[in-house]
Amino acid sequence: MRVAPTRSGLLQQAALPMLFLLLGVVYASWAARIPAIRDALALNSAQLGIVLLSSGIGAVSSFPLAAWLIRKRGGRKSAWLTGLVLLASLPALSLVPGFETLLLAAVVYGAASSSFDVAINAIGADVEKLAGRSIMSALHAWFCVGTVSGALIGSGLAGMGLDPVTHFAAIALLLSVPLYLSYASLDRDDLDPHGAKRSFAIPHGPAVVLGVICFSGAVAEGSVADWSGVFMKDQLGVGDGIAPLGFAGFAAMMLVARLVGDRLKDRFGARRVICAGALLAAAGIFIAVPALNTVTTIFGFSIAGAGMAALFPFVYSAAARYGSTALAAVATFGYSGNLIGPPIIGFVAHGWGLQMSLALLGALCLFIAAAASRARALG
């Protein structure tokens, strides 16, 4: 006779998905209000690019701290501590009085976001090992649920005229509850003080091409997240309530595509799926670039999200076959792409306009398709 799970058992099962969802909501909340914060501080495209660069610098430079925290405190405690800093940093982004203080807040936000990301993925890897089956793809789908929810909430609150300060403060307070419940429900860590201590690794051998594909995908995905709202506002003249819908469509279709991605991989192979997806992403970007109207632009970003969905899960899966060092190295390339991509888009937009900079993302997706088609490491 099957016994119904207890309330504590349900909380334990939901704890890790809640953490991935939390990260997605915070990520999308910041992305959704970038246009409003830019306008409030009267930043130009180059200055906004520097702000995004600062966030990326904080993310990449935090890897040694994240590795040290996990080694000394475990993934559960690390997720709790970095999660608190992450939630505190979100309102700080909207409270700063000027460009210089926004740079500092962006560094803290980037460091907290990446450290929290590393911590929850470390927990996920441990749970996956104990379960004896793959769960990481499903966990990353919960991140997509968070990004879609965060983008739609941001769109709705912006449309109601709610300022970013109140929006971010409310999100931080509300998310502090699932953060604590997840921390209290997860099993305590079994610490290994003699575990691997390397925080960075350089790809070599077959992992090199995987790193290049991951880097390029991160540039494209991060740039769409950070610039799609600004693009819609500047090119189409939409309000703050409509501007986040481009990224919402991107994230929603990425979620849908990830739900069927494993079946496509089993039938056609990772190489073909990533290649076809990159071509689809390029088509979506090129549909959005002309900014013909709001509907077609949102549709283009949505198609791009579907095309990019398979890249990270399949590349990470392929890298893991070459060992944990290769996986860490490829992940580092991904974070580096998030660091470099959005600021480059800002500098290109400052000189040649946002349409030209997004067209370059379409060309980058074509490069990803070509690289994936020849990447034997993908299997």
pLDDT tens readout for residues 54-95: 888 888 788 778 778 877 888 899 999 999 999 999 999 999
Sign of the dihedral through C-alpha 230, 236, 241, 243: negative
Q: 194: pLDDT confidence band, cut at 50, 70 and 90?
A: very low
Q: Which of 33-42, 176-185, 282-291, 359-368 has the lowest mean pLDDT?
A: 33-42
- The residue ranges of DSSP E strands in the chain, in sequence order, are none
**Whether the Cβ atoms of residue 174 and residue 277 lie closer than 8 Å to each other:** no
- What local confidence, expressed as pLDDT, does residue 326 receive? 66
**Listed range (150-159, 224-233, 243-252, 315-324) with the worst mean pLDDT:** 315-324
Average pLDDT over residues 108-134: 80
- Secondary structure of the chain: what % helix, strand, coil (to 5)? 85, 0, 15
Model pLDDT, residue 187: 81
Q: What residue has token string 């993302």?
A: 361
pLDDT at 335 over 80: no
Q: In this model, does residue 277 exceed pLDDT 90?
A: yes
Mean pLDDT across 14-29: 93
CA–CA gap between residue 24 and residue 98 (Å, rounded): 26
Give, to the nearest 10 degrees, the angle between helix 245-268 and helix 294-308: 30
Mean of pLDDT values over 208-236: 89
Highest mean pLDDT among 196-205, 252-261, 283-292: 283-292
Ranges of each domain in the chain: 10-187, 200-379
**Eight-class DSSP state of 377:** G
Question: What's the mean pLDDT in 354-363?
Answer: 92
**Residue linked to tokens 């481009």:** 246
Burial of 164 (0-12, 13-18, 19+ CB in 10 A): buried
**Residue 86 pLDDT:** 97
Name the residue with higher pLDDT: 202 or 167.
167
Check for a shared fold between 10-187 and 200-379: yes
Is 200-379 in CATH node 1.20.1250.20? yes
| Cβ atoms < 10 Å from Cβ of 284 | 27
pLDDT for 302: 96
Share of the chain above pLDDT 70, in %: 89
Average model confidence (pLDDT) across the chain: 85
**Four-residue CA torsion sign, 289, 293, 298, 299:** negative
Mean pLDDT of the region 303-314: 90
**Residue 21 pLDDT grade (very low, low, confident, very high; cuts 50, 70, 90):** very high
Domain 10-187 in CATH 1.20.1250.20? The answer is: yes
Sequence-ordered alpha helix ranges (H) in 132-269: 136-159, 164-185, 207-236, 245-268
Q: So what's the pLDDT on residue 289?
A: 93
pTM over 0.95? The answer is no
pLDDT band with cut points at 50, 70 and 90 for residue 204 = low
| Between residues 129 and 187, the one the model is more confident about | 187
371 C-beta neighbours (distance < 10 Å), count? 18
pLDDT value at residue 325: 59
Kindly indicate the confidence band of residue 134, based on its pLDDT and cuts at 50, 70 and 90. low
Most confident of 41-50, 71-80, 360-369: 360-369
Least confident of 1-15, 157-171, 241-255, 261-275: 1-15
In the chain, what percentage of residues exceed pLDDT 90? 37
Mean pLDDT of 327-346: 76
Identify whether the C-beta of residue 371 lies closer than 8 Å to the C-beta of residue 216.
yes
Give the N- to C-terminal CA distance of the chain in Å, as an integer: 43
pLDDT per residue as tens digits for the range 156-189: 888 888 999 999 999 999 999 999 999 999 887 6
259-266 contacts, C-beta under 8 A, 24 or more apart: 259/141, 261/137, 261/309, 261/310, 261/313, 261/314, 262/137, 264/310, 265/310, 265/314
Q: What is the mean pLDDT of residues 15-37?
A: 91
Q: Which residue has the higher pLDDT, 163 or 137?
A: 163
Residue 320, pLDDT score: 65
